[in-house]
Amino acid sequence: MSVSPSRQSRLAEVLALGRVIPVITIDRPEDAVPLACALVAGGVRLLEITLRTPHGLAGAEAIIREVPDAVVGIGTVLTPSDLRRAEEIGARFALSPGATPALLDAAAAAGIPFMPGVATASELMEAMARGFGTAKFFPATAAGGLAYLKALAGPFPQARFCPTGGITEQNAAEWLAQPNVVAVGGSWLTPAADVAAGRWDAITAHAAHAQEHLRGAAAR
């Protein structure tokens, strides 16, 4: 089974809402909503809530319910069950760090827009064979960095990527300057110390600064 073109269009529409996606790990359920509010206040609406902790899904569900301006995706999707739960809570998209054949097949049949994780040309070919034209490149820096991503553009000119893993405020603009990059993911917008201390104003400032930094870089 191959993913429908309409679902790929919905993914493109979602990714057009923000070129930087904060990768968020929820350690305390009570942090989810104020953290999302802080990011939205700083101009960052597109959020990836990971399933790395037991609180990820509940935190995402709370954000979807209470922060309507946030556009929530579920990350660290490892199994068809994870994907089904993401769809059930109303997430707008889902991402995986890698992709098994079972997960790719489930994602092709599901209704939720999905970005499979790839780190090699063969993995990208597996994803593209099922109609996934946009993939998460992970771990971006460790898997070969910008040089590798540029090399993929030769045999796969139609493929688009969201690199994650080693993306920082300092190098995000360089990644985003690549024609085959539609967005980047990173955790620098939500420093663990600020989240733990409930410094939501600092999170808003990080988000606003990132937006301004990338606008400035694009104008140069």
> pLDDT tens, 54-89?
999 999 999 999 999 999 999 999 999 999 999 999
193 lies in some domain: yes
> pLDDT tens, 93-140?
999 999 999 999 999 999 999 999 999 999 999 999 999 999 999 999
Residue 8: per-residue pLDDT: 87
Please tell me the total count of domains within the chain. Answer: 1
218 lies in some domain: no
- Annotation marks residue 48 as catalytic: yes
177 lies in some domain: yes
pTM (2 d.p.): 0.94
Residue 217: per-residue pLDDT: 58
Residue 162: per-residue pLDDT: 98
Residue 4: per-residue pLDDT: 79
Q: From the candidates 136, 150, 174, 212, which is the catalytic residue?
A: 136
- Is the N-terminal amide bond of 139 cis, ω within 30° of 0? yes
Question: Strands, DSSP E only, in 101-163?
Answer: 114-115, 117-118, 134-137, 160-163
Residue 151: per-residue pLDDT: 96
Most confident of 1-5, 116-120, 209-213: 116-120
217 lies in some domain: no
Residue-number span of the structural domain to which 37 is assigned: 5-210
Residue 218: per-residue pLDDT: 58
Between CA 83 and CA 100 the distance in angstroms is 13
Q: From the candidates 13, 30, 48, 123, which is the catalytic residue?
A: 48
User: Nearest to residue 166, comparing CAs of 147, 148, 149, 143?
Assistant: 143
Question: Where residue 7 falls among pLDDT bands split at 50, 70, 90?
Answer: confident
219 lies in some domain: no
Between CA 116 and CA 138 the distance in angstroms is 10
Between CA 213 and CA 199 the distance in angstroms is 21
CATH code: domain of residue 36? 3.20.20.70
